[in-house]
Copies of this chain bind each other. A is one copy, B any other.
């Protein structure tokens, strides 16, 4: 297997020119694209339509390029658009290509990935055990498909989940069902949390018996160190991208990860670089920075409102949603270290890393 990564800036949710340029120049073969991971400039909350708009735009472009219907494109490529580019975060897309090639297994492990989809969820299943179990099932399949035997070699599992809307909630009620939560904004936390717990179960990070409907969004001791989940109104199933290192890959890239204990955990950023193989002394050098392809991180407000024993106002600010603020903070910390604000930070880290913190992964050129 060979895996390549390309990071392109976007001038708006509809801007596919970065990808087009790479395709036109022959650098990317569009049929090898397996995933597009985007940061789009909406509010990252319920009514963020930039995710759907970017997805529609990328599908439309690839549909023409590959002469397939947009639905067919959607069945083979995972489009995970994460909304919210607060602070200095720069809108962009990370494009993953993959091709099967004949090659001997190597000693050194390299970047490998697989993409998969769960079934579509009913409103009453969202943010509940049905979602947890279905995500677990697909993650285990994807590990096998990626040729990763050792769970330690999985470094990042990115999931796009659906959320509840007023219409979906009314639909469940009309069929005599209830839902995990009535607040549509809050439902994003439930679906993000449930799918993260699915990853944690798949990778044996937590005990199966401890996960119930009641523990979702309540027992913060249950979490995955490598799940990164993001909710969007534009889908009904989960789209999953599993990233790890494998001897079966000949990619020139490698991935490592760490866990931020809170949103200003500078040390964890460095650790994820070192885990990928950079050997950083306190802060990366210019040469080391230039080898970083992208950093993928999750951000969330601390549930008790405190960071390093200091009161913050993210949770009591009724004008700006706390996920918007958390993204801005984590992106700023990472940007200041790598000297580039075009890194991927996604908001809402429920059951992803410890409360108030979140997973972080670094992909480097070897």
Q: Which residues of B contact A325 (CB under 8 A)?
A: 86-87, 328
Copies of chain A in the complex:
4
Given A13-B49, A53-B53, A86-B325, decide whether A43 and B318 contact each other with a Cβ distance below 8 A: yes
Say whether A14 contacts B52, CB under 8 Å. yes
Say whether B315 contacts A266, CB under 8 Å. no
Say whether A87 contacts B317, CB under 8 Å. no
A50, A234, A264, A333 — most chain B CB neighbours (10 Å): A264
Say whether A312 contacts B85, CB under 8 Å. yes
Q: Which residues of B contact A339 (CB under 8 A)?
A: 264, 308
Is the CB of A185 closer than 8 A to any CB of chain B? Answer: yes
Nearest-Cβ distance from residue A45 to partner chain B, whole angstroms: 3
Say whether B332 contacts A86, CB under 8 Å. no
A 234-270 to B, binary, CB cutoff 8 A, 1 in contact else 0: 1000000000000000000000000000011110000
Q: Which of A131-139, A165-173, A202-210 lies at the interface with chain B?
A: A165-173
From B14, B48, B56, B328, A87 is in contact (CB under 8 Å) with B328
From B282, B312, B330, A283 is in contact (CB under 8 Å) with B282
Is the CB of A316 closer than 8 A to any CB of chain B? Answer: yes
Q: Which residues of B contact A336 (CB under 8 A)?
A: 264-266, 333, 336
Say whether A332 contacts B49, CB under 8 Å. no
Say whether A312 contacts B14, CB under 8 Å. no
Is the CB of A109 closer than 8 A to any CB of chain B? Answer: no
Question: How far is B165's CA from A282's CA once the two chains are assembled, in angstroms?
Answer: 38
Nearest-Cβ distance from residue A334 to partner chain B, whole angstroms: 9
Question: How far is B311's CA from A169's CA once the two chains are assembled, in angstroms?
Answer: 13
- The interface size of chain A toward B, counting residues with CB under 8 Å, comes to 79
Q: Which residues of B contact A264 (CB under 8 A)?
A: 88, 332, 335-336, 339, 341
Say whether B170 contacts A304, CB under 8 Å. yes
Say whether B308 contacts A340, CB under 8 Å. yes
Question: How far is B182's CA from A304's CA once the two chains are assembled, in angstroms?
Answer: 10
Q: Which residues of B contact A43 (CB under 8 A)?
A: 318-319
Nearest-Cβ distance from residue A38 to partner chain B, whole angstroms: 13
A9, A45, A263, A341 — most chain B CB neighbours (10 Å): A341
Is the CB of A31 closer than 8 A to any CB of chain B? Answer: no
Say whether B316 contacts A319, CB under 8 Å. no
Chain B, residue nearest A328 (CB): B328
Nearest-Cβ distance from residue A300 to partner chain B, whole angstroms: 12
Given A41-B313, A88-B307, A283-B282, decide whether A12 and B318 contact each other with a Cβ distance below 8 A: no
Given A332-B328, A332-B329, decide whether A310 and B341 contact each other with a Cβ distance below 8 A: yes
A-B contact pairs, 18 of them (CB 8 A): A13-B52, A41-B317, A47-B318, A47-B319, A53-B53, A86-B317, A87-B325, A89-B313, A90-B312, A167-B305, A183-B183, A263-B332, A283-B283, A307-B335, A312-B341, A320-B324, A332-B332, A333-B336
The 8 closest A-B pairs by CB, nearest first: A45-B318, A166-B305, A90-B310, A332-B332, A53-B53, A264-B336, A266-B336, A329-B332
